Amino acid sequence: MTHQLKKIDDYRWELPQSGAMNVPGMIYTSAALQKTKDINEPVQQVANVASLPGILKASLAMPDMHWGYGFPIGGVAAFDWENGVISPGGVGYDINCGVRLASTHLVEGDIKDRLEDLVNALYQNTPTGVGSTGSVTLSYSEEKKVLKQGSRWALRQGFGVDNDIERTEDSGCMPNADPDLISKRALERGKKQLGTLGSGNHFLEVGVVDEIFLPETARVFGLFEGQVTLMLHTGSRGFGYQVCDDFLAIMTKHVHKLGINLPDRQLACAMIQSDMGRRYYNAMACAANYAWANRQILLHQARETFQRALNISPRALGMNMVYDVCHNIAKKEEHVINGKKQTVCVHRKGATRSFPPGHQSICSEYRDTGQPVIIPGDMGTASYVMVGTEEAMDETFGSTCHGAGRVLSRKAAKKKSRGRAINRELEDKGILVRWTGRSTLAEEMPDAYKDISQVVDVVDGAGISKKVARLRPIAVVKG
């Protein structure tokens, strides 16, 4: 089915309510981004999500949207906490896949002659690839502590500093996590993967701040032009995948008892206030906490690797967390809808929280500026640091985009890369890359993604997050 979008302005396009849709769709995009191949598939998914019970205001999609499981990746939807549903497809398999950014005291000239040594050390000391295992091996009882405590478990084991926790979304822990809901298979998968990067689009990247857009906000975030940064992108690994898989298997059968006419079986769901809904929410929180602990350990390991590879002290390095944001999550939040404060369950799948100045969920350091928003691009272009806004709270339940968004499937990307040396192409741009999987570079090559600048210009133009700084990659470690 082909849907006609109604242009509201240069950045907003409405999908009018029709058929089984309970609300309209609202897609943040541009005329240029709409030329993307296969745009009809994610637009149809926006319409499908709009048909779910209890959805509020609109089914939303960000400019990096592309086809996903049930919900489009880049999709945002909020459901009434008392009378709405929760759907694993609205969270995704990689629960709390997210991005963490750290600043340093270094400038590019400080590491230019040592960059190859640094990227080699980061590659050697960061477990990558499918099924990779880390240096942290857990007993079942200790793993359950990770699932309850999140980042604070890692901190108590000596991984990181207090400031890391303060600058993590939700302080790195969802409090409702219940490890007793987790299957033996998920626990087994999680025991050996803590402190690992994984594969696919997960990465660790050394970058340089090459442009500042909001100088005062950048100063508060600790960013300056020419500065060396570290960004890492990973999630809950095989543990989160298994949690999603377990509950999808149950919910696919459960949803038939609800009498909901789903347009797509991948939208399997449960009422939030049902036993099934609460069980999924509390199990999902376990995976979210696992992911935060995972990123906390990886940051600590990267700090130590920088110090050893560059032979500098922690003080000279000055690697400080800027922020940690999650992409694939469902959260209980309060939002004002039609002038009335309402408790909702916000699904952000391939979308980032974008809370404004003054919001109580933001750490005190950033409360006057708004929440840092980290938007990674592909490994050959740039990434952006943005900041949350009131417009996002008004329009998108405090949400914005999460990255560039794919335009080629992994299979199509591999086909297009035949005969090319992607690593050499990146080196010609001044970017050193190390990777594990045989097909990783082909699947993740820059051509496989949308133009990150076009994506960011949409959310900046729409006002749902504002550009603070641009980061240029100089070294990348891929799974």
Handedness of CA 151, 156, 159, 161 (dihedral sign): positive
- Alpha-carbon gap, residue 337 to 358, rounded angstroms: 19
- For this structure, is 402 an active site residue? yes
Distance from C-alpha of 43 to C-alpha of 60, rounded to nearest angstrom = 10
CB neighbours of 113 closer than 8 A, spacing ≥ 6? none
DSSP notation for 280-340: HHHHHHHHHHHHHHHHHHHHHHHHHHHHHHHT--HHHH--EEEEEEESSEEEEEEEEETTE
Q: CA 322 from chain center: how many Å?
A: 15
> What span, in angstroms and rounded, lies between the C-alpha atoms of 207 and 230?
6
d(CA 149, CA 172): 8
- Which tokens is 321 given? 């967390």
Per annotation, catalytic residue among 254, 300, 335, 402:
402
Q: Which residue is listed with tokens 């990247």?
A: 205
Calpha distance 315→300 (Å, rounded): 14
Contacts of 418 (CB under 8 A, 6+ apart): none
Neighbours of 142 (CB within 10 A): 14
d(CA 116, CA 434): 10
Which residues have a catalytic role annotated?
402
